[in-house]
A and B are shown apart, each in its own frame.
Chain A
Amino acid sequence: MENAKRFILFILLGVVLLTYAGCSRKDKPSDQITICFAFQDLETEYWVAAHKAITETLRARNIRVLERNAHQDANRQLEQIRDAIAQDVDGIIMIPQDGESAVTIIGEANQAGIPIGVFNRPPADRSKPALVVVADNERIAEEAVAYMAEAAQKLNRKMTPLILVGDLGDQNSIERKNGFYKAINAHPDLFKEPIEVPTKWDAVTTLANLEAALQVEPRVDFLFTSSDFLYPQVKAVLEPLGKWKPIGDPAHVILGGLDGDSAAYTLMKEGYVDATGVQDLFFEADAIMEALLDAIEKGQSTPEKWIQDPGFALTQENMAEREMDMWGYRILKAEAGS
């Protein structure tokens, strides 16, 4: 036992000495730029595509990328970015868990004098300088649902709307829900009270909750999913009920979503989906990288710029002209090309 204690004391002494030595040692400076890309998770095709676009582009430019996945935990993201700051990274690109934690994390980067860019989820306020690229989720959702409402009006009956709500801890999800309600409330005579189905951004939860909701209210004929990645679950529930029908069929459920992924494009092409809100993923990714690299080059430690992704609603009406602007379509085309 005495030997073990001596050994531990020896180890601890070693740690103290080496720590002291480590504190006085400095890393060799390198010309290579290092960027920390910290994201909250990759639960949808949108985030996967954004991750791919950002990491591949940066690496192609010989930039060292430190990827950090916070698994939807704001505190973990804060810890990861603090660790990146301790490594003296040249810049940070962050997909924050939410706007509030983004403000705190931007503050950490500002204090360390490291430029930071926020991708797709805006900080809750502009009190701390950052580069921000953001889509207007509320407006895009409202636009898509407004088109769906127009289609519903042609049916001359009172509709039973349902919304698949995302994770209520996610600001994008709340904004999409708000956009949905804005469009619905604009037609008080057309719609019954909307049914809200929580999904927690999880496919299994969505399947179970949507099945339960349709057992209680089988007359649902207007459905908006807060994210396109849930379409397979929508189909799995509607199909056995004879409600998975293309536009024009009397049993067709008016369908819409938001993101603009490849599944949504295919379903629109096949005539199952009426409209989908589209964020311009590639524009957003390019914009944040260019802004950050520009700030690094100019030696700016706390650059500030808000870049707006206007986004749009891709509908059955404008599909022919605008499908090229949908990132899901472009991914499909690229895959087909390769």
Chain B
Amino acid sequence: MDRKIRVLVAKPGLDGHDRGAKVVASAFRDAGMEVVYTGLHQTPEMIVEAAIQEDVDVVGLSILSGAHMALFPKILNLLKQEGAEDKLVIGGGIIPEDDMAELKKQGITEIFGPGTTTETIVEFVKKAMASRR
């Protein structure tokens, strides 16, 4: 059986811009993946709980409000606490280069800034999942 890739697309914090998250979620679905979109205004706890219950392979975090340095590490920590640090965590939105580097050090595998095509993101996830199996 060709195992389906399960993805959680999440909007942490108070940021209400969901255009990108929805476009990326649709792209994942069009690429044959099973996508759970969390909706807006998620706390790190809510995101991690969803990631655990849905046993997703990938957690995608979308944020444009500048609060990524507070929220992303919190999410990574919670995943670790739950023994779920094997999940692939990726991010997107408005995240300056310096912050990208720091977040990648902390465990966000890749961050996709403005202008990234959905194709790039989909291919990245497919490749990453293939190398894990």
A binds B: no
Q: Which A positions have Cβ atoms within 8 angstroms of B?
A: none
